[in-house]
Amino acid sequence: MNCKITGKKINPFMSFGKMPIANGFIEKKDFRDEFFFNMEVGFNEDISLFQLNDHPKPEKMFNKDYPFFTGSSEYMKKHFKEYANFVKNYLNSNSKIIEIGSNDGTFLKNFITQTNNVIGFEPSESVANVAKKSNVPTITKFFNKSNVKDLNKYLGQTDLICASNVICHVPNLNDLIETIDLLLSSNGTFVFEEPYLGSMFEKISYDQIYDEHIYMFSASSISKIFKRFDFELVDVFPQITHGGSMRYIVKRKGKINISSNVEKIIETEKKKDLDKINSCLNFKKNCENSKSKILKKLIDLKNLGNSICGYAATSKSTTILNYCNIDTQLIDYICDTTKEKIGKFSPGMHIPIVDMKHFYNNVTDYVYLFAWNHKEEILKKEKDYKGKWISHVEL
Ligand code: DWN
């Protein structure tokens, strides 16, 4: 593959094998036509960027039926409220705000009482419609140069562009940054949060890698990428969300002093070789060990006569199930709160997705927590469950 930013040829260092669309929850009648791609990952040392070798077209993933709703976690709603308070530091009373990938409007809802100068870009109709119902102004389109060109009121006049768990979904980062450049005011700020490469390596949470997550960023990669466009990474704030994320603050070059946080984190990343392929090769070994360990655990538990179900049909679970080849011989069902997933089957491995009533009426000896990143919230909710929780990451 060629790196999507620099054009340089990158050789994949690892393959996760054949993968379906992570959020492609499927009906039985469609099993035969299911789409798969070969999921390989590579690393561009020039810009320290971990990336997928190939990925399905964005329209195949983010379509009218996209079934992930940000508001499905109470904790995340709280997080986005706090995030909204944080970004107010970059605003004045007339500021215009744009969110890239605004999903169901969970974040922007925090602004619509204060200002009409707010727009969300969200290409998936299913989630965009929920935002619109909550009166969050939403453009049901991808965020790119061609889709912002007529937004005269916002061109060069937007004080804040935000995104959460979205920038890693955008294949053409060159176009994305040029679009930001078109919109941002001279002293404007781009604030975004993404799953953090360092946390993924530490937790061996390789399930963060799937079709939608084309990149896994670090402060080193973000700093290098934005420099190419005359922007600067001016601050970073580690987050505990989604198993370890990073909030990045980016401004046009020379606008403010760069916080010492940036230098510190880049130094730490260097010490951990996060800017080098070595850390990836180590991660590869860790993934292979993790796969053998979890498979052995599930098989041993089954052989001892235990029943096992899955909790939360996350996008991440698609990687675990397909990479480890886990099907209904090991996991009876996966329960989830999302009505758009219930009654369908998991992508690739075709495990039935059921509602929470089914979970309470068909209690299993073990539960595989696929939403391990929401552990606190879920374990509190399910405190009456008497069996054992398992996962490939430490719970
Ligand atoms: O980047 C992305 C992240 C932020 O969100 C996306 N590409 C898609 C999505 O990834 P995910 O599906 O792995 O996200 P979550 O938030 O780990 O899992 C969401 C799923 O978990 C939903 O199907 C709802 C379900 N869930 C549940 O059934 N009970 C979640 C919670 C908190 C619960 O209590």
pLDDT digits (tens, 9 = 90+) for 2-34: 887 888 889 999 999 999 999 999 999 999 999
Contact 199, 219 (CB under 8 A): no
Tell me, what's the pLDDT at 73? 97
Strand partners, 19: 37
State the distance from the centre of ligand 1 to the C-alpha of 152, rounded, in angstroms.
35
Confidence of residue 113 (pLDDT cuts 50, 70, 90): confident
Query: Residue 185: how many CB atoms within 10 A of its CB?
Result: 17
Calpha distance 32→281 (Å, rounded): 35
Minimal-distance CA residue to ligand 1 atom 21: 312
Average pLDDT, the chain: 97
Strand partners, 193: 164, 247
Identify which of 68, 69, 54, 71 has the alpha carbon closest to the alpha carbon of residue 24.
Answer: 68
Q: Which of 19, 75, 335, 337 to mutate to test the pocket of ligand 1 (most atoms within 8 A of CB)?
A: 337
Minimal-distance CA residue to ligand 1 atom 2: 165
Q: Which two tokens stand for residue 150?
A: 């007529």
Calpha distance 332→309 (Å, rounded): 5
Q: Which atom of ligand 1 is nearest to the CA of 67?
A: 23
Calpha distance 172→368 (Å, rounded): 35
Tell me, what's the pLDDT at 2? 83
Contacts with 10 (C-beta within 8 Å, 6 or more apart), sequence order: 1, 2, 3, 42, 43, 44, 51, 53
Please write the tens of the pLDDT for every residue from 237-292.
999 999 999 999 999 999 999 999 999 999 999 999 999 999 999 999 999 999 99
Contact 335, 371 (CB under 8 A): no
State the distance from the centre of ligand 1 to the C-alpha of 371, rounded, in angstroms.
6
Identify which of 243, 248, 281 has the alpha carbon closest to the alpha carbon of residue 376.
Answer: 243
What's the residue count for the chain? 395
Helix, strand or coil, per DSSP, at residue 356? helix
Q: Which two tokens stand for residue 54?
A: 């190939």
Single-letter amino acid code for the residue at 371: A
Query: Residue 66: how many CB atoms within 10 A of its CB?
Result: 20
Tell me, what's the pLDDT at 285? 98
Tell me, what's the pLDDT at 86? 98
Calpha distance 243→277 (Å, rounded): 22
Q: Which of 25, 314, 375 to mutate to test the pocket of ligand 1 (most atoms within 8 A of CB)?
A: 314
Question: Does the pLDDT at position 133 exceed 80?
Answer: yes
Question: Does the pLDDT at position 389 exceed 70?
Answer: yes
Write the DSSP symbol of residue 345: B
Pick from 89-98, 208-217, 262-271, 308-317: least confident: 89-98
Confidence of residue 114 (pLDDT cuts 50, 70, 90): low
Question: Does the pLDDT at position 115 exceed 70?
Answer: no
Tell me, what's the pLDDT at 187? 97
Sign of the alpha-carbon dihedral angle for 287, 292, 295, 296: negative
Sign of the alpha-carbon dihedral angle for 208, 212, 217, 221: positive
Write the DSSP symbol of residue 351: P
State the distance from the centre of ligand 1 to the C-alpha of 367, rounded, in angstroms.
16
Q: Where are the beta strands (DSSP E) in 6-141?
A: 14-20, 36-44, 49-52, 96-100, 118-121, 138-139
73 lines ligand 1 (CB under 6 A): yes
Please write the tens of the pLDDT for every residue from 155-206.
999 999 999 999 999 999 999 999 999 999 999 999 999 999 999 999 999 9
Q: What are phi and psi of 123, to 5 degrees?
A: -75, -20
Please write the tens of the pLDDT for every residue from 322-369.
999 999 999 999 999 999 999 999 999 999 999 999 999 999 999 999
State the distance from the centre of ligand 1 to the C-alpha of 335, rounded, in angstroms.
12
Calpha distance 175→188 (Å, rounded): 18
